[in-house]
Amino acid sequence: MTLSSVDREPADADPTIAVSVRNVGMRYGDFDAVKDASFDLPKGKFLTILGPSGSGKTTLLRLIAGFGEPTTGEIFINGEPVNAVPAHRRAIGMVFQRLALFPHMTAAQNIAFPLKMRRRDARTIADQVERYLDLVKLGGYGGRRIDALSGGQQQRVAIARALVFEPDLLLLDEPLAALDVKLREEMQLEFRRIQKELGVTTINVTHDQREALVVSDEVIVMNDGVIQQKAQPILAYRKPENAFVANFIGVTNFVHGIVTGVDGGVVAFRSGGKDLRGIAGGSAPQLAEGAQCSAAIRAEQIRIVTGGETPDRFEIVVEGVIADTIFEGERIVYEITVPQLAEASLRVFDHDPAAHTQFQPGARIQLGWNSKDMHVF
């Protein structure tokens, strides 16, 4: 595909944009791994590309890195087209899930390696390595071999090695996926701290929704090779563009029904024997009377109506039966069957389990929520 001068203009004209992806597609035989992807990433921002396995997120990252040339479209880095520029000529640091550290080298030698490959002044390398060891909180560990370091320490070495030559762009390909939950959450905060301290433009790929929300200035949600939404994390969470995004980010319930009326951005619909209302989801909703719809509501936006609350505080109140109770420490997750909503199964959080009664399977309860919290697609 040939891009017109109009297509090129945003990348060429705006010096604040670090990466510009224009109508990029990647096809393998009859399979489209990435389809018509376009976005701009400002300098100094942290972007996470989020999606399930096979969504195209890693393929898109590899195209930006230079490990393949897109079938269609063009990629710009700092305003320069890079489709034909090989990976080793792009000023990019990269951290992989398999860290690819040299086991026969010390931490300091691993970090120094990219400086030596770029023929940096040998007199400055030791000081540069020490600076980056301090940045990743490994001061004093430079002399240790890689196999003498913990998993988290190895991650820090990999980050320092990717950053030590001061690249224009840092790419992260699920580098935390192999870590245990606690260490992964600690390293998410470390990535965020280091990125903010250096101001390096960063693109991260993950299937971990929490990681995407924690570390990112912006997120891209992909599915089937298509960008479903690009937004700040809070907007992707609170105003999902479509049902896929609503379902993929957060713990989301869906209630299915038939549209009975549309008034501006408010949609009335009927599910089972209950009339409900919600907000039309997405930027261009196509909902009409008589159409089938799916309404999404987050687990934390539904309340179990307890003795200290009154049902009239909620616009929508239904009766349910506890199907299962799952204790997760800081919260209890209830699976609740709602006969009024065509036997819909809803997940509901209780974030204060110590102060509340723990309901047992078979208990009958009331649930309440407000129309503004329900997005209809």
Answer yes or no: is pLDDT of 121 > 60. Answer: yes
Closest among 16, 328, 341, 35 to 201, alpha carbons compared: 16
Task: List 229's β-bridge partners, or say none.
Answer: 221
Reported confidence tier of residue 312, pLDDT bands at 50, 70, 90 = confident
Mean pLDDT of the chain: 90
Q: Which amino acid is at 225?
A: G
pLDDT of residue 305: 85
Mean of pLDDT values over 248-264: 94
Answer yes or no: is pLDDT of 283 > 80. Answer: no
Count CA atoms closer than 13 A to 114's CA, side-chain side. 24
Question: What's the CA dihedral at 214, 220, 225, 228 to 10 degrees?
Answer: 120
What letter would DSSP give residue 145? B
pLDDT of residue 141: 94
For 112, counting Cβ atoms within 10 Å of its Cβ (0-12 exposed, 13-18 middle, 19+ buried), the class is: buried
Quote the CA–CA distance of 2 and 153 in Å, as a whole number: 46
pLDDT of residue 284: 52
pLDDT in tens, 184-226: 888 888 889 999 999 999 999 998 899 999 999 999 999 999 9
Closest among 316, 310, 307 to 374, alpha carbons compared: 316
pLDDT of residue 329: 83
- pTM for the structure as a whole: 0.88
Q: Percentage of the chain with pLDDT > 70?
A: 93
pLDDT of residue 4: 37
CA distances from 161 to 117, 128, 138, 346 (A): 12, 11, 12, 46
Quote the CA–CA distance of 228 and 218 in Å, as a whole number: 13
**Regarding predicted confidence, which is higher, 357 or 50?**
50
Reported confidence tier of residue 1, pLDDT bands at 50, 70, 90 = very low
**Cβ–Cβ < 8 Å for 318, 341:** yes
DSSP 241-276: SSHHHHHHSS-EEEEEEEEEEEETTEEEEEETTEEE
Quote the CA–CA distance of 85 and 96 in Å, as a whole number: 21
CATH architecture group of domain 5-238: 3-Layer(aba) Sandwich (3.40)
Residue-range domain boundaries for the chain: 5-238, 251-376
Reported confidence tier of residue 34, pLDDT bands at 50, 70, 90 = very high
- 51 by DSSP, 3-state: which? coil
In CATH terms, the fold of domain 251-376 is OB fold (Dihydrolipoamide Acetyltransferase, E2P) (2.40.50)
Q: Which two tokens stand for residue 186?
A: 């600690």
Count CA atoms closer than 13 A to 262's CA, side-chain side. 17
